[in-house]
Amino acid sequence: MIKKIFLIGNPNVGKSVVFSRLTGVQVFSSNYPGTTVGFAKGYLMVGNEKVEVVDLPGTYSLEPSTKAEEVATSLLRESVKEESVIINIIDATNLERNLFLTLQLIEEGYSVVICLNMCDDAAHRGVDINTSSLENILGVPVISTCAVTGVGIKLLIERIKEVTPGAKNKLGHQERWVEIGKIIESVQKLNHRHHTFRELLEDASVRPLSGLLMSIAVIYASFKVVRFIGENIITKITDPIFFDLYRPLLERLSSSWQEKGFWFHLLIGDLINGKIDFKQSLGVLTTAPYIEFGMVLPYVISFYFVLSLLEDIGYLPRLAILLDNLLHRLGLHGFAIIPVLLGFGCNVPGILATRALESKRERFIASTLISIGVPCVPLQAMIFGLLGAFGGFYVGGVYLVLFSLLLIIGVIMNRTLKGYSPEFLLEIPPYRFPPLAVLGKKLYFRIRGFIIEAVPIVLIGVAVINILIYFRLFDFITSISAPVIKGLFGLPKEAVVALVIGFFRKDVAVGMLMPLGLSAKQLFISATLLAISFPCIATFVVLLKELGVRDLIKSTLIMVFTSLIIGTLLNFAIIR
């Protein structure tokens, strides 16, 4: 009886795509090794039975070398062999390397079905695999699929029932490769082809000079596209909705309001010159939706569009190679750029992605750096929205400070923490061009995730803040923290409220600064402080889960200490 189905395979062979096809459960997939770092569960009907399907992180062998691989192998080891089926997903363009894990699985006596994925790409690259003869040699069902479009998935489900456990002699690594060599010779034919333009690009992006030029072009273009899309959504869509449709509605509501007491304060907020000001009123119906939908959401959309595109094309691992040298000085290696980039969207997935790094030390360094020096999209959107009015100089300044901090703290941690950083070892995937529908779906799920997670917290957050302000409960915190806020950072003492709110949500925190009428310098300092000080509560919880209490405390101390120094330094160093 089949009770569980495990999806296992080398990194970046499309396990998660197959999983989504089998179960209908949406999981993220990208074109780089290590997208899946935890496991996902879903259900599939096999005959009349409902069977649990588990998507595992990719692994090259049954002996793990990263935390993500550990997740895969330990889950597999815990399972009951007789009750589980393994769908071993293989990248058809690279059959030889993938067979190593396959043979290991069969030798261990698991019931295996092989899903020969990416068949379309293999055919394109002149790889011809004889599936029936592969089936005969291995003694397990082999089904060729193209999971992105769904070809072969039905057949795969049908043949799951046919499996029988394999039992072969265990081989040493060297013997296994000899065996694989023989298999490849009899089942795979390579048609010689000329280098395609795509392959030329692939090679150019991993050569030092051309790679560097390409990376500068890609980063510059990405930045421009993010700004272009974000600004256009704001000026063409969200601002007209807020100012031409929503505000007149609110104004009518506000003017018909007789007694402007507690509820008025909570929902509409303060009137600025007798009018509703989305940026300064601070009401649950005014500033809260404007921050989330009018300022942050447009950039969330544009950022994730560009990130998803880069992920699916397969550019990120190439960026990792170029940055390997620099990141080594921070105790990391090139791959760490991927969690960092994800962190620019939201720190939570960024920190989760550090699981694909090998050592605990690297994970600590990467997580700490992400929470200090990598501002998430909502925070960045607010910084652009607010500080942008004073000119690009200040916005650039925030990034410059954060970037320098990343380098300095990274170098210090690398020098002081025990242990050494492991070396870079990463498979570089070929470029792939995702169908637009696939890209659109991923973008949709990311944006939906943002709305579900952020909007309730923002609305509740603004409500709670308003209640606290209304009943003057912040006064206590304001007065005890005044020496630090005023004396060291040069900010008005009310700014502490924003720093506290930063623990819940960074975008709302910047929103709290808006009515204070800060000077450019003060705004610059407080925005920078919001980025480096405590991460928001969601990030905090993930840090606790990933690092454990002791390392979390260590990491937090570094953040507090850095905030104090930087806040003071900026205050006294900037004259104007």
Query: In the complex, which residues of this chain contact another protein (CB under 8 A)?
Result: 60-61, 63, 65, 93-94, 96-97, 100-101, 125, 127, 173-174, 177, 202-203, 206-208, 317, 320-322, 324-325, 333-334, 423-428, 430
In whole angstroms, the minimum distance from the beta carbon of 61 to another protein comes to 4
Q: Which is nearer to another protein, 127 or 547 (CB)?
A: 127
Which residues make beta-bridge pairs with 55?
A: 7, 40
258 torsion bin: left (phi>0), alpha (psi -120 to 50), beta (else): alpha
In whole angstroms, the minimum distance from the beta carbon of 69 to another protein comes to 10
CB 62 within 8 A of CB 105: yes
- How many other C-beta atoms can be found within 10 angstroms of the C-beta atom of residue 546? 18
Q: Which is nearer to another protein, 167 or 190 (CB)?
A: 190
In whole angstroms, the minimum distance from the beta carbon of 344 to another protein comes to 23
**Sheet-wide strand order for 111-117:** 40-46, 49-55, 4-9, 84-91, 111-117, 142-144
Q: Which is nearer to another protein, 129 or 233 (CB)?
A: 129
Question: Residue 72: which of 102, 38, 49 has the closest Cα?
Answer: 38
Helical (H) or strand (E) element with 287: helix 287-289
What gap in Å lies between CA 180 and CA 174, rounded to an integer?
10
In whole angstroms, the minimum distance from the beta carbon of 331 to another protein comes to 14
For tokens 């394999």, what's the residue?
Answer: 166
In whole angstroms, the minimum distance from the beta carbon of 373 to another protein comes to 23
Q: Which is nearer to another protein, 125 or 506 (CB)?
A: 125
560 torsion bin: left (phi>0), alpha (psi -120 to 50), beta (else): alpha
Q: Which is nearer to another protein, 335 or 450 (CB)?
A: 335
DSSP letters along 2-70, please? --EEEEEESTTSSHHHHHHHHH-------SSTTS--S-EEEEEEETTEEEEEEE----SSSS--SHHHH
Q: Which is nearer to another protein, 116 or 348 (CB)?
A: 116
What gap in Å lies between CA 354 and CA 370, rounded to an integer?
10
Please name the amino acid found at residue 52. Answer: E
In whole angstroms, the minimum distance from the beta carbon of 80 to another protein comes to 25
Q: Hey, what long-range contacts does 414-418 have (CB within 8 A, 24 or more apart)?
A: 414/329, 414/330, 414/331, 414/365, 417/331, 417/361, 417/364, 417/365, 418/361
In whole angstroms, the minimum distance from the beta carbon of 192 to another protein comes to 13
In whole angstroms, the minimum distance from the beta carbon of 428 to another protein comes to 4
Q: Which is nearer to another protein, 317 or 461 (CB)?
A: 317
In whole angstroms, the minimum distance from the beta carbon of 27 to another protein comes to 24
CB 337 within 8 A of CB 316: yes
Q: Which is nearer to another protein, 425 or 557 (CB)?
A: 425
Overall size of the chain counted in residues: 576
DSSP letters along 129-177, please? E-HHHHHHHHTS-EEE-BTTTTBTHHHHHHHGGG--B-------HHHHH
Question: Residue 511: which of 230, 347, 235, 280 has the closest Cα?
Answer: 280
Locate 571 and state its tokens: 């205050």
In whole angstroms, the minimum distance from the beta carbon of 31 to another protein comes to 13
Question: Residue 421: which of 362, 467, 381 has the closest Cα?
Answer: 362
Q: Which is nearer to another protein, 184 or 464 (CB)?
A: 184
Please name the amino acid found at residue 554. Answer: K
Q: Which is nearer to another protein, 104 or 254 (CB)?
A: 104
Locate 123 and state its tokens: 């055919």
For tokens 């990792």, what's the residue?
Answer: 320
Q: Which is nearer to another protein, 94 or 308 (CB)?
A: 94
Locate 386 and state its tokens: 């607010």
Locate 456 and state its tokens: 């309730």
CB 398 within 8 A of CB 524: yes
Q: Which is nearer to another protein, 49 or 96 (CB)?
A: 96
In whole angstroms, the minimum distance from the beta carbon of 14 to another protein comes to 15
Q: Which is nearer to another protein, 215 or 481 (CB)?
A: 215
In whole angstroms, the minimum distance from the beta carbon of 125 to another protein comes to 8
In whole angstroms, the minimum distance from the beta carbon of 404 to another protein comes to 21
